């Protein structure tokens, strides 16, 4: 049974929102993805948000571009944690989405990640679920240790090979 919902306003958001799924897959967490537009199909959004907890969902990740009302509308209709992902679209490249999501009125919180950073939204959902799951806490700790080991390996390489060599390899 999925514990996380990944909701997007349009399938054009899928390339970004798929990164939430990739993060959740790292920890073997079940999720469902749906398209439900706050503007073009508000009834669907309302039905989904109001029924999510009863369906076993514990965290909702909602991504949207432009006016980006989807995360806030969902948060207004459920007490589940909602993580907003601002999706970059022209002409403002996601700044409009970021402001729409992060500037929620007092009383209706939406956690917000960086523009197009749906991967972090997936990680945050995993961290929320880990509050009551020691196995998941261990997986997250292992993931963090892997990140630290990569930094150490990069530092060792830089010190051994020199910055010029490492920079050329990046090109």
Q: What is the pLDDT of residues 77-95, one digit of tens each?
A: 999 999 999 999 999 999 9
Q: What per-residue confidence (pLDDT) applies to 67?
A: 84
Q: What per-residue confidence (pLDDT) applies to 3?
A: 98
Which percentage of the chain shows pLDDT scores above 90?
A: 94
Mean pLDDT value across residues 109-138: 98
Give yes or no for residue 165 having a pLDDT over 90.
Answer: no
Give yes or no for residue 169 having a pLDDT over 90.
Answer: no
Q: Tell me the backbone φ, ψ of residue 103, rounded to 5 degrees.
A: -95, 50
Q: What per-residue confidence (pLDDT) applies to 171?
A: 86
Residue 12 and residue 64 in contact, taking contact as beta carbons nearer than 8 Å: no
Q: What per-residue confidence (pLDDT) applies to 124?
A: 98
* Angstrom distance (rounded) from CA 116 to CA 105: 22
Of 96 and 169, the structure prediction assigns the larger pLDDT to 96
Q: What per-residue confidence (pLDDT) applies to 150?
A: 97
Give yes or no for residue 136 having a pLDDT over 90.
Answer: yes
Give yes or no for residue 152 having a pLDDT over 90.
Answer: yes
CATH numeric code, 4-131: 3.40.50.1970
Give yes or no for residue 118 having a pLDDT over 90.
Answer: yes
Q: What per-residue confidence (pLDDT) applies to 19?
A: 98
Look over the chain and give the mean of its residue pLDDT values, rounded to a whole number: 96
> Comparing C-alpha atoms, which of 9, 57, 13, 12 is closest to residue 32?
57
């Amino acid at each position: 049974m999925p514990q996380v919902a990944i909701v997007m306003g349009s399938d054009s958001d899928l390339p970004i929102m798929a990164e939430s799924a990739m993060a959740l897959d790292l920890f073997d967490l079940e999720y469902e993805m749906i398209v439900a537009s706050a503007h073009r199909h508000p009834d669907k959004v309302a039905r989904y948000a109001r029924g999510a907890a009863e369906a076993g969902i514990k965290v909702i990740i909602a991504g949207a571009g432009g006016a980006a009302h989807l995360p806030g509308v969902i948060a207004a209709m459920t007490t589940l944690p909602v993580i907003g992902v601002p999706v970059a679209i022209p002409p403002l490249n996601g700044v409009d989405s970021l402001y729409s999501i992060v500037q929620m009125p007092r009383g209706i919180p939406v956690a917000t990640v960086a523009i197009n950073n749906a991967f972090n939204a997936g990680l945050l959902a995993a961290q929320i679920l880990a509050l009551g799951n020691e196995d998941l806490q261990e997986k997250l700790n292992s993931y963090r240790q892997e990140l630290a080991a990569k930094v150490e390996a990069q530092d060792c390489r830089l010190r051994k090979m020199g910055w010029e060599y490492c920079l050329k390899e990046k090109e």
